[in-house]
Amino acid sequence: MRPVKVALILGARPQIIKSAPFIYLASRDKWINLSIIHTGQHYDYEMTKIFFEELNLPDPSVNLNVGSGTHAQQTARIMLRLEKILGRQKPDLVVVPGDTNSTLAGALTAVKLRIPIAHIEAGARSYDMKMPEEVNRRLTDHCSTILFTPTENCTKNLLKEGIEKSKIYQTGDTMYDVLLQQLPKAEKTTILEHLNLEPKTYALVTAHRPENVDDQQNLRNIVEAIISLKKLTIVFPVHPRTQKQLKKTKLNKKLEKEKHIKIVKPLGYHETIKLIKNAKLVITDSGGIQKEAFWLKTPCITTRENTEWIETIQLGANCLTGANKQKVIEKVKEIIKNEKQINEKLQNMPNPFGDGEAAQKIIDVIKSFLKELD
Ligand code: UD1
């Protein structure tokens, strides 16, 4: 077999994290010539570079520097710039992780150049086409040649949509791989001391989904819910999108007045993991944090009407409240009241997200696929 050229396309924070285990293995494999193409969708230090540093990842070979814009602008800019790069690099395979605009733009560009595509985290569905990520993952899955699913439910979703069984490989979730690999380093961070927090006395809150933070009423509901939780310390790392909206609505002023709320800038991976692990509970709209809370056995409240990680709901580790102030407050009270039983239940749950070896399985499939093309 000749060494094969694989181009990995990423650009947003969660994609860097979920690609890390794949990058470690692919860049060490003598049969794989890996090129990392960063779209530049995220560009602030806290949203991208910090993860390359913390996770010891090689620098991207190219940065397309597309930056922010409307969905069409961002997607189109990536496609225009990526087409040239892929035309020059001529990879044997393009790998796209997750469900961001960078994922979709990568898949659309590659499929039109007739380059085979492998999608990492295929088959996740919230069945809510108002979410940009749902559009991105559905279209990406239907352009892909190889689909790596994290769970059985994701595999079933693809089969329901008529995707051929022979294209689907249920490998487990690379986000679980990276969590297991990085947990010792996460444990060593001093974020609890730094923020003056005692384990299991605080709630970690995140919000960044457009349906929550770009909608003034929903943002207000979430802010009012955490303001009224006065008995609980709240740690709130604020995503740039959310920061903008908090300023616009002046809700930042309300939050800053509250003694029990600690507003911080977006955190690194290790610090986030340590905070999730030691939190009494998590309130989030992030897909990744719902899973991380599940693996770290911390109760999770999801401020969305639906989730693609339905497994966490079915097992009773996570619940959906939407951006509903009363429901969030009630759920927090319920978790605190039944803390002991909930924690016992969390300790004994099966893990539907694989065995922490997803990236190795992905590499094996990719190599045998490319061997056949030779
Ligand atoms: C994107 C992904 C989402 C993922 C999230 C994680 C899509 C459609 N959404 O959402 O799935 O969960 O990343 O963060 O791809 N901004 C900065 N600095 C940055 C990046 C963004 O200031 O480094 C600001 C910009 O003003 C931008 C806004 O944040 O307009 C939103 O960024 P964008 O990439 O459009 O989407 P996210 O909300 O980050």
The CA 290 to ligand 1 mean position distance, Å, reads 18
Minimal-distance CA residue to ligand 1 atom 33:
68
The Cα-based distances of 101 to 11, 41, 67, 108, 327 in angstroms read: 9, 8, 11, 11, 31
User: How confident is the model over 327-352, as a mean pLDDT?
Assistant: 97
Residue range 242-248: mean pLDDT, rounded: 98
CA dihedral 223, 225, 227, 229 (to 10 degrees): -150
Rounded-to-integer distance, Cα 138 and Cα 123, Å:
8
Give the position, in ligand 1's atom list, of the atom nearest the Cα of 286. Answer: 12
**Distance (Å) from CA 163 to ligand 1 centroid:** 30
Q: Whose CA is nearest to atom 36 of ligand 1?
A: 241
Encode pLDDT of 279-326 as tens digits: 999 999 999 999 999 999 999 999 999 999 999 999 999 999 999 999
Q: What is the mean pLDDT of residues 25-34?
A: 96
pLDDT for 137 beyond 80? yes
pTM above 0.75, yes or no: yes
Overall average pLDDT of the 121-138 stretch: 97
Going by pLDDT thresholds of 50, 70 and 90, the confidence category of residue 86 is: very high
The ligand 1 atom nearest the CA atom of 210: 38
Residues in the chain: 374
What integer pLDDT is reported at residue 33 of this predicted model?
96
Going 75 to 240 to 205 to 218, the CA torsion angle's sign is negative
Cα–Cα distance for residue pair 12/14, rounded to 1 Å = 6
The residues with which 281 forms a beta bridge, in sequence order, are 203
According to the model, what pLDDT value does residue 373 have? Answer: 75
Q: Is the pLDDT of residue 1 over 80?
A: no
User: CA 223, 228, 229, 231 torsion: positive or negative?
Assistant: positive
Rounded Cα gap, residues 353 and 350, in angstroms: 9
CA of 78 to the centre of ligand 1 (A): 14
Number of other residues whose CB lies within 10 A of the CB of residue 343: 15
Ligand 1 binding site (Cβ under 6 Å of any ligand atom): 12-14, 41-44, 47, 68, 99-101, 132-133, 208, 239-241, 244
Token readout for 102 is 């960078």
